[in-house]
Chain A
Amino acid sequence: MAEPVEKSTLSQQRVMSAWVFLAPMLAVLAVVAVYPLVKTIYFGFTDASIDFPGQAQWVGFRNYLEYLDYGGGEGEYYGLLADPDWWRAVWNTLRFTFFSVLFETIFGMIIALVLNTQFFGRSLVRAAVLIPWAIPTIVSAKMWAWMMHDQFGILNDMLMKLHIISEPVAWTADPDTAMLAVLIVDIWKTTPFMALLILAGLQMVPKDMYEAAKLDGIHPVRVFRKVTLPLIMPAVLVAIVFRALDALRVFDIVYVLTPNNANTATMSVFARENLFDFDRFAYGSAASTLLFLIIALLTIGFIRATRMNLGGDR
């Protein structure tokens, strides 16, 4: 009878020491993550201005949606949910996320497959491929902004010399190409990240599977579809979730490459503009809260959906 009592004391001690070790981290997390988040959500329900955040008054859901009755059957909806600029920002963000993640996954996969084979100088190429990822986003965005300049940019110069275009394209200024320019830079920058994650997945695939397929004379494309892809799928899906989370809160590339341009403004850009440029701190806080909710919902939805697929594949 003495044994279980002893055991529970031991496990109690373990639980205790675990909490002791976790406490500093939890305290730090509470200060740097939970507190700002709660504060932001709170400000979203007030009329706070950045000059006097202390004088904020509770206004309920007015920043989100409010019907102003002008009388006589006339009235208008105000608030984020009725704000076309906000929905445009949401749409821009989703569009950006979809295309950037799609192309980064495809290109990342191709690069990973190449790097997974044995060839001379492979380690050098692996290091070289990582360079765009190593450059800080703000630096690469500014660098590309110069390269895409319509008068002095090297990109136009090269394309003109190759006779692909007949006159300089204003990549970041033209509404038709502004989003494309942002996508090009982001794909250039983040493909190495995807390649690295997928490569890690590829290296987990047992080599003897390929040898068996080779002996049976199965076409490489079929091997890729039936063997490689299912086996690396978990790694790819994790990479996609990581990348999508990042893409949904994109700010720096857009802000540097196409500042104040409504055609590319994302949710983060919209929130910052209201928080600091305009005298609408509460409205910007509400936008940040919605941004947080949208990211959370999309991530949960994506994880659920892919789990079902994974189960079906098996």
Chain B
Amino acid sequence: MKHFKTFTGVLLAASALMSVSAGAVELNIVHGAIGKDNEVLRKELDRYEEMTGNTVNIVSMPESTTDQFGQYKLWLSAKSPDIDVYRIDVIGAPQLASHFVDLTEATADIIDQFVPAAVESQTVDGKLVALPMFLGAPALYYRSDLLEKYDQPVPETWEQMTETAQIIMDGERAEGNDDMWGFVFQGAPYEGLTCDGQEWIYSYGGGRIVELDGSIAINNPEAAEALNMAKSWVGTIAPQGVLNYMEEDARGVFQSGNAVFMRNWNYAYALADGEDSPVKGKFDVTTLPVGGEGDSSAATLGGWHLAVSKYSPNPDEAIELVKFLNNFENQKERAIETSRPPTVTAVYDDPEVAEAQPFIPRWKPVVLNALPRPSAATKRKYNEVSSEFWTAVHDTLSGDGTAEQNLAKLEAKLKRLRGNGW
């Protein structure tokens, strides 16, 4: 009898061990790292690993979302089982909808906690293709110390910003700071320029690249005025090299103390306010300027969301991981450490977040009213629409044709691209 007991004991222990090893799976999550993203994600994954016994590897990607999208598309169309969870740009997931697991059922119990606009942006024909992870909305970063020194108000229109930037830049250069610039933004020909460009045009009352109903009215005087304003910055208050800047290039210039104004996403706040930052405590943020009186400020809706690949060998664990990474605690931590605006509404009203990142609660209305890119209207042709748009804007900025010419060309190209319908 005693022997029997020992025997069953050993058996039980062995089967327990086996079930653990059979249950522990290895997952791969892929995303492009900007700022502190990787660091914070790793921390959250460590907690997940401890909790579940599963392991998760981070597969890192280049910074440019345009580059990432191409790679994701290759993996997915090859039905690659290597990646379980994709962290993908707000405009990306809807274009790849057929490759992702429908999360509607798995998230039915929690989806009400999320910002409705974010959920809507990831819903394609009733299917939730990605669970919103964090939102993005850009801000105008400004050097509050310099504005004070030169007795200038926080600008409300683009024109005011231009003048202020010129005054401070000239003043600082006269004092010997030759590297000082007035304004840096994302001017490289890629998705980021589409965001900047549509903000300028919308804030001048020039409408959207493609209207919500799919019509094309981009070739208008307000849009041309906006682009002409932007063109006037290059080589004067903005360095010529801004034509090849992405997010991190702009942040590099601003954070090293060499720019008065910067247009950038929220992530830059936590970094520019970090302990090792030369501009810590010397800057603040405000909404992006408007074209003139009566115009409204525009901030492009950005954000990164988590989608589960249909070709994942462990879809259940992958869905659990996605839900874990987007739960209240993790969103709160991300908001505090990386200044990424959360997608769970309650985090905006959390007092600890408000204390650590006063920026976030103030950003709630901006994020909730952010301007989406025309990815819903143009569906699978969005990437091409965006590419035509950023080419028109980049050509204008670099002096290859006037704003009027490039907008007329853009209108013709978009109409041609649309054909019988998007």
Q: Which residues of A contact B (CB under 8 A)?
A: 50-53, 76, 78, 149-152, 168-170, 172-175, 258-263, 272-273, 276-280
A53 to B77, CA, bound (A): 9
Quick one: closest B residue to A78, CB to CB?
B416
A255 to chain B, nearest CB (A): 9
A278 to B187, CA, bound (A): 21
Docked-complex contact A151 and B74, CB < 8 angstroms: no
Docked-complex contact B189 and A261, CB < 8 angstroms: yes
A259-B188, A259-B190 given; A279·B240 CB < 8 A: no
Docked-complex contact B252 and A170, CB < 8 angstroms: no
Quick one: closest B residue to A50, CB to CB?
B77
16 pairs, A vs B, C-beta closer than 8 Å: A50-B73, A50-B77, A52-B98, A149-B241, A150-B239, A151-B253, A170-B243, A173-B244, A174-B243, A175-B398, A259-B64, A259-B189, A260-B387, A260-B391, A276-B73, A280-B384
A259-B190, A260-B390 given; A173·B99 CB < 8 A: no
B60 to chain A, nearest CB (A): 15
- List 19 additional A-B contacts (Cβ < 8 Å) besides A170-B240, A173-B242: A51-B96, A151-B241, A170-B241, A172-B244, A173-B244, A173-B245, A174-B240, A259-B64, A259-B189, A260-B66, A260-B188, A260-B390, A260-B391, A262-B391, A277-B66, A277-B387, A278-B383, A278-B387, A279-B384
Docked-complex contact A277 and B70, CB < 8 angstroms: yes
Docked-complex contact B252 and A151, CB < 8 angstroms: yes
Docked-complex contact A51 and B77, CB < 8 angstroms: yes
Quick one: closest A residue to B388, CB to CB?
A85
A150-B241, A277-B66 given; A174·B384 CB < 8 A: no
The residues of A that contact B243 with a CB separation of less than 8 Å are 170, 173-174
Quick one: closest A residue to B391, CB to CB?
A262
A5 to B291, CA, bound (A): 94
A278 to B67, CA, bound (A): 12
A279-B380, A279-B383, A280-B384 given; A152·B252 CB < 8 A: yes
Docked-complex contact B240 and A150, CB < 8 angstroms: yes
Docked-complex contact A173 and B381, CB < 8 angstroms: no
Docked-complex contact A76 and B189, CB < 8 angstroms: no
Most chain B beta-carbon neighbours within 10 Å: one of A173, A263, A277: A173
Contact of A170 among B179, B239, B253 (CB under 8 A): B239
A173-B240, A173-B243 given; A259·B398 CB < 8 A: no
B24 to chain A, nearest CB (A): 33
The residues of A that contact B387 with a CB separation of less than 8 Å are 260, 273, 277-278
The residues of B that contact A150 with a CB separation of less than 8 Å are 239-241, 244
Counting from the closest, the 5 A-B pairs by CB-CB distance are A150-B241, A173-B244, A170-B241, A173-B243, A170-B240
Q: Which residues of B contact A (CB under 8 A)?
A: 64, 66-67, 69-70, 73-74, 76-77, 95-96, 98-99, 179, 187-190, 239-245, 249, 252-253, 258, 380-381, 383-384, 387, 390-391, 394-395, 398-400, 416
Quick one: closest A residue to B379, CB to CB?
A279
Docked-complex contact A173 and B187, CB < 8 angstroms: yes
Contact of A279 among B253, B381, B394, B399 (CB under 8 A): B381
Quick one: closest A residue to B74, CB to CB?
A276
Docked-complex contact A173 and B383, CB < 8 angstroms: no
The residues of B that contact A52 with a CB separation of less than 8 Å are 98
Docked-complex contact A173 and B188, CB < 8 angstroms: yes
B188 to chain A, nearest CB (A): 7
The residues of B that contact A276 with a CB separation of less than 8 Å are 70, 73-74
A278 to B395, CA, bound (A): 20
A83 to chain B, nearest CB (A): 10
The residues of A that contact B95 with a CB separation of less than 8 Å are 279
A174 to B394, CA, bound (A): 10
The residues of B that contact A277 with a CB separation of less than 8 Å are 66, 69-70, 73, 383-384, 387
Docked-complex contact A173 and B67, CB < 8 angstroms: no
B190 to chain A, nearest CB (A): 5
A277 to B253, CA, bound (A): 30
A181 to chain B, nearest CB (A): 10
Docked-complex contact B241 and A168, CB < 8 angstroms: yes
A261 to B95, CA, bound (A): 23
A114 to B44, CA, bound (A): 60
Most chain B beta-carbon neighbours within 10 Å: one of A76, A78, A170, A175: A170
A149 to B249, CA, bound (A): 9
